[in-house]
Amino acid sequence: MSSKLLAKDLLINVTSFFRDSKAFELLAEEVIPDLVHRHTSDRPLRIWVAGCSTGEETYSLAMLFLEEIAAAKRNIKLQVFASDVDEDAVALAREGRYPESIAADVSPTRLARFFTQEDHSYRVMAELRGAVVFTAQDVLADPPFSRLDLISCRNLLIYLRPEAQEKVLLLFHFALRESGVLLLGSSETVGRLDDRFEPISKAQRVYRQIGHSRPGEVDFPIGSGAGARTLWPGRMRPPAAQGISARDLTQRLLLAASSTNPSASKGRVDRSSRRTTSRGSPSSRGSSTLPGRSCRALSTNSRSQTRSKGRSTKKPCRRMRSSSRQTKS
């Protein structure tokens, strides 16, 4: 494997518990208490983590919500939907087993409350695991979840062209309840959709949904190929103009480099054809996916076991048609 491909393989799913600690502090201290306080007990609190990778971000958010619901003594059911186009990452997220090194990011109190320690690893306990449903889903092509109180889509939009970014943001606007909250990654913004999302914190990329979707503006499926994929260098603005961090820039350059590398594209074809066999709709799916594997895998053995488990339990996703606007519920 070339060093570029290896580096891309390691970086693409990069994630960690409580990544961007200031954003998580704001969530824990203001945003989540407000959501829990305003929520009525007659329906579940619904969260969608799009581009969840191996689950760390999802479990971080779920821990904060469970803590706040308990602290506020509210009888609210939490439903967290977490999705990623990468089935291997989703399988690892479902397994919920992480290396001991997560103790650097997860406090001892949370480790004690939400994890059990086994064989040099931490496993997510039933209360936390039971709050989350993981699924393989392409945000560009599959039905979104709906009636959501919060969507977190962090460090995914940076891989898309501006037109595709805007379409995904309009999809999120449609999927959120009125005044629902949107979290983006530290290098991402809502761009010109400032009439759809107002900042709760510009610095931490936390927004509130405002306004209403206009008929016909949410275009399903968003599609793939040249219009959707990452393209720097190319037609996008230079990364410096978008405030992209060195790490994210490295990922994007590696992706751009690998798209001109014949062995890299062969890898994509193999991967996507394997994926489409189990999901149907082969033609468009293959070209819309970003290749990637987990950087947080515990071991080759456990990964290959979980992969086959993940594939066998996965349900096929229905395609969204522009006329029928199906949504996951």
Interface residue list for ligand SAM (CB under 6 A): 12-15, 19, 51, 53, 57, 84-86, 89, 138-140, 154-156, 159, 185, 290, 292
- Among residues 155 and 209, whose Cβ is nearest to ligand SAM? 155
For the bound state, the minimum distance from the C-beta of residue 143 to ligand SAM, rounded and expressed in Å, comes to 12
Q: Is 179 helix (H, G, I), strand (E, B) or coil?
A: strand
- Among residues 49 and 128, whose Cβ is nearest to ligand SAM? 49
Alpha carbon distance 166, 97 (integer Å) = 35
- Among residues 89 and 169, whose Cβ is nearest to ligand SAM? 89
Within 10 A of 2 (CB to CB), how many other CB atoms are there? 12
- Among residues 152 and 209, whose Cβ is nearest to ligand SAM? 152
For the bound state, the minimum distance from the C-beta of residue 14 to ligand SAM, rounded and expressed in Å, comes to 5
Q: What's the chain's length in residues?
A: 329
For the bound state, the minimum distance from the C-beta of residue 126 to ligand SAM, rounded and expressed in Å, comes to 24
- Among residues 15 and 204, whose Cβ is nearest to ligand SAM? 15
For the bound state, the minimum distance from the C-beta of residue 63 to ligand SAM, rounded and expressed in Å, comes to 15
Alpha carbon distance 284, 131 (integer Å) = 32
- Among residues 180 and 292, whose Cβ is nearest to ligand SAM? 292
Residue whose entry in the numeric block shows the structure tokens 């290896």: 6
Q: Which residues pair with 150 in a beta bridge?
A: 47, 181
For the bound state, the minimum distance from the C-beta of residue 11 to ligand SAM, rounded and expressed in Å, comes to 8
The answer to whether the Cα torsion of 228, 233, 238, 240 is positive or negative is positive
For 92-157, the three-class secondary structure string (H helix, E strand, C coil) is HHHHCEEEHHHHHCCCHHHHHHHEEEECCEEEECHHHHCCEEEEECCCCCCCCECCEEEEEECCCH
Report the candidate in 324, 321, 309, 325 with the shortest Cα–Cα distance to residue 134: 309
The answer to whether the Cα torsion of 48, 51, 56, 57 is positive or negative is negative
For the bound state, the minimum distance from the C-beta of residue 86 to ligand SAM, rounded and expressed in Å, comes to 4
